[in-house]
Structure 1
Amino acid sequence: MTDTDGQFLALEPGSKFDGFTIEKQIGEGGMARLFLAHDENGRQCVLKVPRRTLDVDPVAMIAFENELRLARYLEDFPYAHMPVSQSGGECRYLVMDYIPGANLWARLCAQGCLSEAKAIALVKKIVHALAELHRRRIVHLDIKLSNIMITPDDEVRIIDFGLSNHLDLPDLIYESFQEPKGTPAYIAPEQFFGVRDEPRSDIFSIGTMLYEMTTSKLPFPNAHSELGVINRIKGDAVSPRRYRTELSEGFAALVMTCLQNVPDRRFAGMDALYAALEQIEPAAVAAATAPPATAVHAPVPAMRGSRMLARLTGQFLSAIRSAEGGKLDEINAWIAGHLARRTPRYRIVAAMDNDSRARAASLNSEILAQAVRQAGLQPSIITVLTVLREHNVAIASTERERKDRNAAYREAREAMKRIIAGFARDDLPIGINIRSGEPVDAISSCVTDLDADLLVVGARRLNALSRFVLGSTAYKVLTTIKCPIMVIQENAGRKARVLPAGQSQTAVPAALVTASPADRAPVGGTG
């Protein structure tokens, strides 16, 4: 099958694709198109088919890859679109249940905000679904009105798992991007600090939805700038009763509990939130049956800001984390305790070169093989690291630069995936981390951010002149990385050596740099 525009598979109405017949296109995003189709038995479904160009936005690319990976854990999840990952030709795609109806945002825009009783009844269904999702060890992390589908019989379905995190797998989003991802007005405060393994983050988002469903207002409407996010985290939302006085005090208290900055002050879990909703529901239903003192017009929800995806830079994140005072100090204290309570897993960073030459490929395979051997000694997570020189996938000044950087990112990721494929095991999580900048700084920041226990790097054989010119790079690596280092020598006749943090030698770490799209020659100690 050919491309019509160089970006997407040519799937026109009536065309065939991997046993499916295309009916029509029903959506399009940065990474994929959505097609309504039917299989050979006439069953309707939705196909999510990826773009094929190299300049796909990295966030969209990783989010789609994350959806593909999570599909096996959601195939029998009745409160979602029950996705199945399949391969057709050269691409992997998703087959999803067709969910007739509209998302909750569109429903509220058409009908206005809900009464307290109707909001409780609807959110109970969402909370019940999320409780089951959490039991499957998956945190959604992007719950909002537009990600909730309402079927014709008023059942709910949760969609868009691109930013979700399976607590027993490497977090693709966290390992791929330093900055937080999500919708700023909806995500919990701890998500801005890089915490993505806290189920109560979804409770915060439920509180935001309840607030918006009943008032047409967002509790934190200005969280789209550095100052706005900091002020949002430092402050409290006003009670929803300020905008609709007929809302009960019990309902308002429930919403405000969901919106607590520190997770320990929210409900203990979705089951606890469900019980609280059931407790206040009878009074809400009784109040709904009584004639109102005055007619209340329900305005259309103010949704413009809540659909904006967070694109916060590393500098932005540093500013948030360095801010001090009051609630920020409380959140930082909670995060410190949360990290201390995590079940420890041995973290190995394997630094590799995405150069396509045979020498690099051979050394990369040995680097990962050694990392896998070390991981076999105890429960471990391996992170494959590679570095793009002079690239920053978060910022681009021109459209051409953005496309070039996105292409470099995708090429590097595909190269790492090909290497990992030969070592894939269900019991050994292997993630990919692509960073930009100077190799030594990128390695150091990755080791620090992931709190790595072991760094595995390659060292190429160098002549005397190369050692004189490049030796300082190796010295800096071995004296700045604060964890044990295993150096894999390029010549097969010598065994790998594990060096303690701070010890130096003259071998140059291989592997850490890719040239720009305009100049593919390796630089910075890879030759």
Structure 2
Amino acid sequence: MPSIRPAEGVIIDGFRLERRIHNGPMSSLWLVSRDGDPTPMVMKLPSLAEGEDVSAIVGFEVERMILPRLTGAHVPRFVAAADLSRTPYLVMEKVEGQNLAEIADAAPLPPERVAELGARIARGLQELHRQRVLHLDLKPANIMIGPGGDAVFLDFGLSRHDELPDLLGEESDVPMGTGAYIAPEQIEGDRTEPRSDVFALGVILYELVTGRLPFGNPQRKAGMKRRLWKDPTPPRKLNPACPDWLQEIVLRCLEVDPYQRYATPAQVAFALQHPDQVTVTERGKRWRADGPLTVLRRWLRSGNPRWERKPPISEQVVGAPIVMAAVDLGNGVDALGELLRIHARRALDVDPQSRLACVTILKTALLQVESGVDAQGNNLYVQRLIALKDWARPIGLDDERVSVHVLEAVDAAAALIEYARKNQVDHIVMGARANSALRRYLGSVSAQVVAEAPCTVTVVRLAQP
């Protein structure tokens, strides 16, 4: 294998090394340029000196296989690569913006800022999972917040792609990840669980809201395993400004059992974007960590946990969908509303971890609500909210699985489409009237939603006599 000593001015396959911007134990990063190409680029060179950790080589191979397969705003654009048979390198477009580690240095941050950042990260993570990739080394240093606010993920050396060999998992049973952020199942060698990234997201949220790490920063497996039985200090104890809804979200992400966490990053993003819809349990109200006797009992029960074998990543991400029911309440709950409720229930029955977002539109004028009150002086927004809750109640969902939203909008279809996009909805169920005075208005809404929504749409109609 040829070896080129990296230094400023050295040219590798047409890429000129301009300046080293990072030198870590597993790789170095260089700003590079190429004649005729104005793109700002970064080259990653793995550490291959004698005596170096072989995981640097394996990690480079993993990232070289995964990065070219990734697309979208949440990953660096792949430019070029060379494998170990030559001078190995990986070139990607330079990601502009601010590293989350720099933002975390100012923690504790205001709860609203934590929720905003967390939702951005969770939305990006959902898109990553949809591309069949688990990051498995999520931490502030590996996340950039771009100029447009998107979270961009870096360093896929410890990641797993559903369609590629898991080189790290095949070659080692040592926990792969960063001690402060690694999920319990990763410690035991399970690299197939999407909720491992949800756990790491919970650690990041905890760090942003408290300025501390929930489990410290252990470097050995024995230290990492303590999180299997020792719960973290509740965020509100460290930062009284942390609201109970935010603590609820953070501690749910940090549950030891993956199945007690949020099922997908999209569900975390949804909760962070709608704090008024978060069901606060004992988790959110807690003021202190569990006592030594409780911890001891958990330790005695922990033993050597066996994590279930799971279906492919893509199947797990398709599961736990967010179903949106777009409900017309202009004339109360009529026959179409009843039928819509049946179809929403059917969509939810696909997965026990699915959740329902009930949405109705309160039509507005260009600048304000056409009429803020009804003929009796009742607030229309509140009336719609109550009616929407009444519509959802017969479906029989637990509070944690259902939320209600009244959207004030001039363009109903555009509002529904934007809501679905922002909240990463998987399935919209909505009604369309076959004949009525509102047919032209509502019919155009359903047609536009079908044409432009970023997800599956089911349009429900009443059978014609």
Per the TM alignment, residue 213 of structure 1 is displaced from its structure 2 partner at its CA by: 0.4
1:326 aligns with one of 292, 298, 306? 298
1:186 aligns with one of 178, 181, 184? 181
Aligned to 1:218: 213
Distance in 2, Cα, partners of 1:154 & 1:38: 26
Q: Does the 8 Å contact 1:208/1:218 carry over to 2?
A: yes
Per the TM alignment, residue 185 of structure 1 is displaced from its structure 2 partner at its CA by: 1.7
Check if 1:67 corresponds to 2:63: yes
Per the TM alignment, residue 84 of structure 1 is displaced from its structure 2 partner at its CA by: 3.8
Aligned to 2:451: none
1:256 aligns with one of 251, 258, 262? 251
2:159 aligns with one of 160, 164, 173? 164
List per-residue Cα deviations over 1:81-106 (Å, max 9, x = no partner): 12344238922321111123332112
Aligned to 1:118: 113
With over 3 angstroms needed to count, the CA separation of the structure-2 counterparts of 1:330 and 1:274, relative to structure 1, is farther
Distance in 2, Cα, partners of 1:184 & 1:112: 20
With over 3 angstroms needed to count, the CA separation of the structure-2 counterparts of 1:273 and 1:112, relative to structure 1, is closer
Check if 1:229 corresponds to 2:201: no
Aligned to 1:18: 13
With over 3 angstroms needed to count, the CA separation of the structure-2 counterparts of 1:194 and 1:227, relative to structure 1, is closer
**What secondary structure sits across from 2:88 in the alignment?**
strand
1:60-139 equivalences under 5 Å are: 60-74=56-70, 76-87=71-82, 90-109=86-105, 111-139=106-134
Pairwise CA RMSD of aligned residues? 2.8
Specify the code of the residue in structure 1 equivalent to 2:46.
P
**What secondary structure sits across from 2:38 in the alignment?**
coil
Specify the code of the residue in structure 2 equivalent to 1:203.
V
Specify the code of the residue in structure 2 equivalent to 1:95.
V
Specify the code of the residue in structure 1 equivalent to 2:109.
L
Aligned to 1:269: 264
With over 3 angstroms needed to count, the CA separation of the structure-2 counterparts of 1:265 and 1:51, relative to structure 1, is closer
**What secondary structure sits across from 2:274 in the alignment?**
helix
2:239 aligns with one of 240, 244, 247? 244
Per the TM alignment, residue 31 of structure 1 is displaced from its structure 2 partner at its CA by: 3.9
Q: Does the 8 Å contact 2:135/2:156 carry over to 1?
A: yes
Q: Does the 8 Å contact 2:39/2:93 carry over to 1?
A: no
Per the TM alignment, residue 43 of structure 1 is displaced from its structure 2 partner at its CA by: 1.7
Distance in 1, Cα, partners of 2:6 & 2:26: 15
List per-residue Cα deviations over 1:25-45 (Å, max 9, x = no partner): 111233432111122222210
Per the TM alignment, residue 160 of structure 1 is displaced from its structure 2 partner at its CA by: 0.9
**What secondary structure sits across from 2:155 in the alignment?**
coil
Specify the code of the residue in structure 1 equivalent to 2:74.
Y
**What secondary structure sits across from 1:326 in the alignment?**
helix
Q: Does the 8 Å contact 1:2/1:10 carry over to 2?
A: no
With over 3 angstroms needed to count, the CA separation of the structure-2 counterparts of 1:54 and 1:327, relative to structure 1, is same
Q: With the length of structure 2 as denominator, give the TM-score of the two structures.
A: 0.58
Aligned to 1:432: none
The alignment of Structure 1 onto Structure 2 pairs a total of residues equal to 294
Specify the code of the residue in structure 1 equivalent to 2:137.
D
**What secondary structure sits across from 1:43 in the alignment?**
strand
Q: Does the 8 Å contact 1:233/1:328 carry over to 2?
A: no
Distance in 2, Cα, partners of 1:203 & 1:328: 26
1:270-309 equivalences under 5 Å are: 270-280=265-275
Q: Does the 8 Å contact 1:36/1:47 carry over to 2?
A: yes
Specify the code of the residue in structure 2 equivalent to 1:173.
L
Specify the code of the residue in structure 1 equivalent to 2:258.
P
**What secondary structure sits across from 2:16 in the alignment?**
strand
Aligned to 1:173: 168
**What secondary structure sits across from 1:198 in the alignment?**
coil
> Which structure has more RCO (C-alpha within 8 Å, separation ≥ 6)?
1
Aligned to 1:44: 40
With over 3 angstroms needed to count, the CA separation of the structure-2 counterparts of 1:219 and 1:173, relative to structure 1, is same
Greater CA drift, 51-60 or 169-178:
51-60
Q: Does the 8 Å contact 1:186/1:208 carry over to 2?
A: yes
Greater CA drift, 145-154 or 223-232:
223-232
With over 3 angstroms needed to count, the CA separation of the structure-2 counterparts of 1:52 and 1:327, relative to structure 1, is closer
1:272-421 equivalences under 5 Å are: 272-280=267-275, 326=298, 329=301, 335=307, 338-339=308-309, 341-342=310-311
**What secondary structure sits across from 1:237 in the alignment?**
coil
Identity among equivalent positions (%) equals 34
Q: Does the 8 Å contact 1:261/1:327 carry over to 2?
A: no
**What secondary structure sits across from 1:38 in the alignment?**
strand
Gaps of 5+ in 1: 284-323, 344-527
With over 3 angstroms needed to count, the CA separation of the structure-2 counterparts of 1:167 and 1:281, relative to structure 1, is farther
With over 3 angstroms needed to count, the CA separation of the structure-2 counterparts of 1:332 and 1:144, relative to structure 1, is same
1:209 aligns with one of 183, 204, 207? 204
Greater CA drift, 270-279 or 211-220:
270-279
**What secondary structure sits across from 2:136 in the alignment?**
coil
Q: With the length of structure 1 as denominator, give the TM-score of the two structures.
A: 0.52
Distance in 2, Cα, partners of 1:334 & 1:179: 16
Distance in 2, Cα, partners of 1:34 & 1:222: 25
List per-residue Cα deviations over 1:37-66 (Å, max 9, x = no partner): 122222210011234534331111111111
With over 3 angstroms needed to count, the CA separation of the structure-2 counterparts of 1:58 and 1:282, relative to structure 1, is same
List per-residue Cα deviations over 1:483-513 (Å, max 9, x = no partner): xxxxxxxxxxxxxxxxxxxxxxxxxxxxxxx
Specify the code of the residue in structure 2 equivalent to 1:131.
Q
**What secondary structure sits across from 2:250 in the alignment?**
helix
Aligned to 1:416: none
Gaps of 5+ in 2: 279-295, 313-465
Per the TM alignment, residue 231 of structure 1 is displaced from its structure 2 partner at its CA by: 2.7
Q: Does the 8 Å contact 1:11/1:17 carry over to 2?
A: no
Specify the code of the residue in structure 1 equivalent to 2:238.
Y
With over 3 angstroms needed to count, the CA separation of the structure-2 counterparts of 1:327 and 1:276, relative to structure 1, is farther
Distance in 1, Cα, partners of 2:11 & 2:214: 47
Distance in 1, Cα, partners of 2:52 & 2:198: 32
Specify the code of the residue in structure 2 equivalent to 1:138.
V
Q: Does the 8 Å contact 1:117/1:281 carry over to 2?
A: no
Aligned to 1:414: none
